[in-house]
Structure 1
Amino acid sequence: MARGSTAGNMHEAEYSRGALLERLERETFDIAIIGGGITGAGIARDAAMRGLSVALIDKGDFGSGTSGRSSRLIHGGLRYLGQGHLGLVREALRERGLLLRLAPHLVWPTPFVLPLYEDSHHRPLRLRVGLAGYDLLAGTLGIGRHRGISREKVLLEEPQLRSEDLQVAFRYFDAITNDARLTLTVAQSAVRQGAAALNYVEGASLETTGGRIAGVNYRDLVGGGEGAVRARAVVSAAGPWTDRVRSLAGGAGLLRPTKGVHVVVPRARLAPNAVVAFGWRGRDLFAIPHGEYTYVGTTDTDHSGDPDCIEADYEDVAYILEAANGTFTTELSMSDVISAWAGLRPLLSEEGDPSHVSRDYDILDGPPGLYTICGGKLTTFRAMAEHLVDHIIEREQFSRRPARCRTAREPLPGGGAGDFARYKKGAVAALRDGWQMSEEVARRLVGVYGTDHVRVLSHAVREPRLLEPLIPGCPVLAAEAVHAVRQEMAMTLEDFLRRRSDLMLFGEDGGMA
């Protein structure tokens, strides 16, 4: 790709918040969605691709709630198999396989190592049977088959594992993602299909006409204006805020939110070669390598407070460090922690240990015109969206006949390159030779944006200085910040530093240099 030859043809019209707000006021939509996390974005994409008119609003940024605060795993849920949730695991494994095809730049297969110690809550024989079932349920969408690893070999592969009482280990495969960018990309796909998606627009109340929910009264948290979105059907996909939205219609609470915390430490201190899944005090945790860092989590504790006030407290971080130090030969301390994040799982209310509460989802109707979807997993968002849109179509009359669901076949923006590994190799070479980029910067650019990296470069055609690093020594380009504002709906510095890039989470200074 010669410098500017392709990128210059990919320049899009800039994102216009004003024009989208005008659409909210002017149009009557088929579906209005409250909640711009992965579930709401997935519903918007599915419905828009079927030809329905869609509005999507969120009182924060896209993916600023649960969807951007996860373990970043796209997985079948091996432990759910042990709990007997075969249907959930089968669906999640299918969705994992689809996402690897639809978004290869954002979802990538990764080896996992699971060491077993004498006091492990997993038993070797039972785990071997479970992993065989895991492989079998994945079917033709499987990534690779599990295998056992001897004590001696796993200590060679993962030399920081504690050797005392180590019995055996297993290697299996799942996938990793960038959760916030995945959510944003799904929302972008909905917009490219005609949806009106707006962040920082709060659903203040529900509009009722003739005993039926007919829209959402909103507040623009950026411009300060107010208005109403009229719609034939309103969907609550509000995650941890589901009960708050239901209360606007007089509905009872449904959720049992649990808090999950992760901490980030330098890879120089904790350096797993694969994702290490390990048990501690009856809970499963992961140590996940990420460039120069490793993040470890997660906790699973009940949270009864305000979902707007969620943070990693001292006890959460101390527990994770204790778990890591009990499994690895490291002696991590609070001074090693670069950053931490906390998120809420919007689990359906159920008695028992938080770790055993179902990760399945449910759809509830009512009052007329309002549909609520709650529960679920990051991995299964596409299937959840398909199910919900099918559910609405069966119950509502629209001016046009909706098409069948296409989301299992249509790649996400940036993912339509076919053989992505081959595409990435060629694109990186072109950036290196034609744009004089370093290998590190080129690989990151194509890895983050896929085929859409040319849209980022389009900003630098007129302003070559945008090819410079945003921060000296950092592979993130200044063009990415411009792209985030102009075409990715970034409204605040945190939107870019935390969700459009990883600088706030994976950086010594939180990207504030």
Structure 2
Amino acid sequence: MASSQREAENSPARLGPLKREESWQRLGEDKFDLVVIGGGVVGAGTALDAATRGLRVALVEARDLASGTSSRSSKLFHGGLRYLEQLEFGLVREALRERELMLTTIAPHLVKPVSFLYPLTHRVWERPYTAAGLLMYDTMGGARSVPGQKHLSRAGALRMVPALKRSALIGGIRYYDAQADDARHTMTVARTAAHYGAVVRTSTQVVGFLREADRISGVRVRDVEDGRETEIHASAVVNCTGVWTDELQRLSGGRGRFRVRASKGVHIVVPRDRIVSESGMILRTEKSVLFVIPWRNHWIVGTTDTDWNLDLAHPAATKHDIDYLLEHVNTVLATPLTHDDIEGVYAGLRPLLAGESEETSKLSREHAVARVAPGLVAIAGGKYTTYRVMAADAVDAAAVDLPGRPQSSITDKVPLLGADGYHALVNQADHLAGEHGLHPYRVRHLLDRYGSMVHEVLALGEGRPELLKPLEHAPDYLGVEVVYAASHEGALHLEDVLARRTRISIEYAHRGVDCAAQVATLVGEVLGWSKDEEKREVEVYKARVDAERESQSQPSDEAADALRSAAPEARSGIIEPVS
């Protein structure tokens, strides 16, 4: 038992307190082939791609894994149906290939099929036109793992989605895409990179670049938790910071090859019983599309698409954003949604490549990668679904600065942690449930969050049966999940657990406030917090929620941003870039 416990403590993929200190030492002492800046899905994917090619790689993130755009998406792995209409066939084909890989090989435990109804509103031409597009969508990129389109009469569509007004459609077509918890998926990509040897460290902010003659030779980083600084030496640096790309480029002292624009996307979360439906929906709007996405016991409704030039770390939703979503979804619902129905709201920023058009909805969703200086590569744009392709392109671009010729990318063959053995465990869920005194439904829920790592999670409850009980005010989650977030998944603050390792902050009307004290106590046990530190974490989290709620009643971006950005940071040591 003692040796297996030691082995678990030393597991490369265990991002706990001991690993954090060891990683700091390695950052300062080792020479790396590649330093990746940014812990979103592209940064995590780049670290995984590089590590599985046999490169020595370090990933540093100023805040938390997926703390920016990668935890605030529509949570879909999709080809982008509307891009077919824009004739971007290559982009759609590439994304659908990635969707298929996720469902079958890379992350079957995290990525699941999800159905959408497309309501038809025009007679004669719309059904064949949409059917032709969906026929391509169903077959491009080797898609095989989701059912094909199904055509429905108005009566059939209303049976599938009774929540719709009869006048809102003349018929419908159901098609399938896939979805995932974006924050958990990104974190799992990062842990998989660590499993293959990458040094992964959060709360580690790049504050400067190192140079040898005319080339970038590494970065200077600061631990935002305690203020320590060190230098990381590397053959190449990859800037994967999304909407912060331009800020990092300025810090490096050079000019970029492309400009990144931030587009704000807002989503609202409502209880499942507010929209009676067996399927999600995709609705046309005057600018783009609106999704109604099934999310466990909830629906996610989104998204908006507006320019954002304010605080990049904490984009704020306004009353106008929320009214826009309610107004558009209510055009088709027999029983309208109201502000009182909303349990959660979140706003994220898409890093779009700036082009000729000033409209963010028309900026490119393709990605760009460039060697912006000797030893420095930047990558931006793209969409969550194609993160793996972006990561491979970034490492390829850095190859010119690496000693020797790196191997080709193999991440299309590398399952994420938890994927191996997942399907067998699903079949054994009843037995596993009986072994731990849990309901089989609960075990299946855990399997869809952790896959075959569920054994590590449940092992934390051995001798502590209270940890196998649901949280008092967030019963979808068990105490062991909170402990595991801090001991294995790199959570360093209460916010990391409530907003990203779990999704309590958007799934409950109290937004995590009611269970904050209980969660802080469990996290504090792992991270060694004093009672004062626990209290501070709770206070900071509550201030965040209060600021978000207040900002969501404001009429403008400027008013909402002023309120949201005034809330205290969990990571108070963050240094804001100088414009």
Q: CA deviation at 1:282?
A: 3.5
Q: TM-score, normalised by structure 2?
A: 0.83
The alignment partner of 1:149 has SS state of strand
**Which one of 59, 62, 66 corresponds to residue 65 of structure 2?**
62
Q: CA deviation at 1:462?
A: 4.2
1:330 equivalent in alignment to 2:335: yes
Give distance in 1, aligned partners of 2:295 and 2:41: 22
Give distance in 2, aligned partners of 1:92 and 1:416: 23
Q: CA deviation at 1:22?
A: 0.8
1:310 equivalent in alignment to 2:291: no
Q: Deviations over 1:208-260 (max 9, x none)?
A: 11110111111111121112111100000000101111111332461121110
The alignment partner of 2:331 has SS state of helix
1:436 equivalent in alignment to 2:441: no
- Give 1:492's aligned residue: 493
The alignment partner of 1:408 has SS state of helix
The alignment partner of 1:232 has SS state of strand
- What is the total number of aligned residue pairs between the two structures? 502
Q: Which amino acid aligns with 1:176?
A: Q
Give distance in 2, aligned partners of 1:8 and 1:117: 61
Give distance in 1, aligned partners of 2:284 and 2:483: 43
Q: Deviations over 1:37-87 (max 9, x none)?
A: 000000000101111111111111000100110000000111001101111
Question: 8 Å contact 1:12–1:455 — kept in the other structure?
Answer: no
- Give 1:38's aligned residue: 41
| More helix as a share of residues | 2
**Which one of 366, 372, 383 corresponds to residue 372 of structure 2?**
366
- Give 2:267's aligned residue: 262
1:289 equivalent in alignment to 2:294: yes
Q: Deviations over 1:408-429 (max 9, x none)?
A: 11110001126x2x53131x21
Higher relative contact order (CA 8 A, sep 6+): 1
The alignment partner of 2:506 has SS state of coil
Q: How does 1:38-437 map to 2 (within 5 A)?
A: 38-101=41-104, 102-118=106-122, 123-139=126-142, 141-248=144-251, 249-252=253-256, 254-352=259-357, 353-393=359-399, 395-398=400-403, 402-417=406-421, 420=423, 422-426=424-428, 428-437=429-438
The alignment partner of 2:337 has SS state of coil
Q: Which amino acid aligns with 1:104?
A: P
Q: Which amino acid aligns with 2:280?
A: V
Give distance in 2, aligned partners of 1:294 and 1:133: 28
Q: CA deviation at 1:441?
A: 1.9
Give distance in 2, aligned partners of 1:333 and 1:257: 29
The alignment partner of 1:366 has SS state of strand
Question: 8 Å contact 2:291–2:303 — kept in the other structure?
Answer: yes
The alignment partner of 1:171 has SS state of strand
Q: Which amino acid aligns with 1:47?
A: A
Relative to 1, partners in 2 of residues 1:79 and 1:510: Cα closer, same or farther, differing over 3 Å?
same
Question: 8 Å contact 1:33–1:234 — kept in the other structure?
Answer: yes
Relative to 1, partners in 2 of residues 1:283 and 1:404: Cα closer, same or farther, differing over 3 Å?
closer
Relative to 1, partners in 2 of residues 1:140 and 1:343: Cα closer, same or farther, differing over 3 Å?
closer
Q: Deviations over 1:272-327 (max 9, x none)?
A: 32111111233201111222211100001111223124111111001001111112
Give distance in 2, aligned partners of 1:251 and 1:161: 51
**Percent of pairs with identical residues:** 38
Greater shift in the superposed pair: 298-307 or 232-241: 298-307
Greater shift in the superposed pair: 234-243 or 167-176: 167-176
Q: CA deviation at 1:337?
A: 1.2
The alignment partner of 1:276 has SS state of strand
Q: CA deviation at 1:355?
A: 2.1
Give distance in 2, aligned partners of 1:136 and 1:463: 50
Greater shift in the superposed pair: 338-347 or 432-441: 432-441
Give distance in 1, aligned partners of 2:465 and 2:7: 16
Relative to 1, partners in 2 of residues 1:29 and 1:69: Cα closer, same or farther, differing over 3 Å?
same
Question: 8 Å contact 1:440–1:475 — kept in the other structure?
Answer: no
Is there any run of 5+ residues in structure 1 with no aligned partner, and where? none
Question: 8 Å contact 2:239–2:377 — kept in the other structure?
Answer: yes
- Give 2:526's aligned residue: none
